[in-house]
A = this chain, B = another copy of it.
């Protein structure tokens, strides 16, 4: 069977785990991300990998990170949250880690993990949508992870959905992630709370009365309790989410969408409106088979599991 290591390099923490060939995490460790220094991040990765490799017989290391990765799965062109620019990550790590190493986009890791071991098991054509502060994605086609001509496929969060729309951190306007992400959820809630404080009393209470202190988890909790303003916030981003899925279905016609990420922990609060909007805006809906829209099954472990399994299949 054999083990591989998966590493999930996030903006706040680096998490690593030993994963078996059934996608089970048999050991896991983590450290804070040293944000400012590219080489320091590599050191943290090396430390975690070395620690795990000392206790488990592992064959390879997969590293997942948000960003543009080259087709050799070796260099990070650009990672918005990690200050990496043309970072030769594999090369840097190879000096201290004596194992095969591949670098993967984090959305790709999620998509792969869910397809192999999670909600999309058995599907060969899958689009994963990771709804966190932004939106990441990964695409599995004909049973294989699709990386694109230059390694950068699946940046679905930057599909433009509104011409001249909200400014995005990527420099463009109107990107999908400005409308259907956790940031969009919070922004919508804060706006409603400022404009309609009476209606939003529940949310404001949770935030100490200051609209700008409202957080995603507070909105989710309120929505679970049936708070109408919080439900309206999920309806809003769910609608955009589903309308975006309809666009992706026009282009990619997957058999299955998997919706994961922190915001998807709200479950049907998010997926209900998304499915309705998907149905309502899918081109030719009456004349075609339609994909499943499923919640991710692996939670935050998907990053580690996917990276590890992609390293195994390298």
CB distance from A192 to the nearest CB of B (A): 8
The CA-CA distance from A307 to B303 in the complex, in Å, is 41
A123-B149, A141-B141, A152-B288 known; A172-B283 Cβ under 8 A: yes
A162-B164, A164-B165 known; A288-B78 Cβ under 8 A: yes
A144-B142, A166-B165, A196-B279 known; A250-B285 Cβ under 8 A: no
- Which of B171, B173, B248, B288 sits near A150, CB closer than 8 Å? B288
- B144 near A288 (CB under 8 angstroms)? no
The CA-CA distance from A166 to B178 in the complex, in Å, is 10
CB distance from A113 to the nearest CB of B (A): 19
The CA-CA distance from A162 to B163 in the complex, in Å, is 7
Q: Does A208 contact B (CB under 8 A)?
A: no
- B253 near A252 (CB under 8 angstroms)? no
A142-B144, A155-B283, A158-B283 known; A166-B167 Cβ under 8 A: yes
Q: How many copies does the complex hold?
A: 4
CB under 8 Å from chain B, chain A span 223-280: 243, 246-248, 250-256, 279-280
CB distance from A299 to the nearest CB of B (A): 25
CB under 8 Å from chain B, chain A span 47-63: none
Q: Does A216 contact B (CB under 8 A)?
A: no
The CA-CA distance from A148 to B164 in the complex, in Å, is 31
Closest B residue to A155 by CB, please name it.
B250
Specify which chain B residues have a CB less than 8 angstroms from the CB of A85 in the assembled complex.
287
Mark contacts of A153-170 with chain B using CB atoms, 8 A cut-off: 1 yes-contact digit, 0 otherwise. 111101111111111101
- B160 near A246 (CB under 8 angstroms)? yes
- A291 near B164 (CB under 8 angstroms)? no
* Contact count band on A: 35 or more
The CA-CA distance from A286 to B196 in the complex, in Å, is 8
The CA-CA distance from A168 to B247 in the complex, in Å, is 14
Closest B residue to A232 by CB, please name it.
B280
- A148 near B160 (CB under 8 angstroms)? no
Specify which chain B residues have a CB less than 8 angstroms from the CB of A285 in the assembled complex.
195
A149-B253, A254-B149 known; A161-B158 Cβ under 8 A: no
CB distance from A166 to the nearest CB of B (A): 6
Q: Does A121 contact B (CB under 8 A)?
A: no
Q: Does A3 contact B (CB under 8 A)?
A: no
Q: Does A133 contact B (CB under 8 A)?
A: no
Closest B residue to A150 by CB, please name it.
B289
A148-B254, A151-B253, A155-B251 known; A284-B170 Cβ under 8 A: yes
- A252 near B175 (CB under 8 angstroms)? no
Q: Does A124 contact B (CB under 8 A)?
A: yes
Mark contacts of A123-140 with chain B using CB atoms, 8 A cut-off: 1 yes-contact digit, 0 otherwise. 111000000000001010
Apart from A123-B149, A196-B279, what are 7 other A-B pairs with CB-CB below 8 Å?
A142-B144, A147-B253, A161-B163, A162-B164, A163-B163, A172-B281, A175-B283
Closest 4 CB pairs of A and B: A148-B253, A149-B255, A158-B283, A78-B287
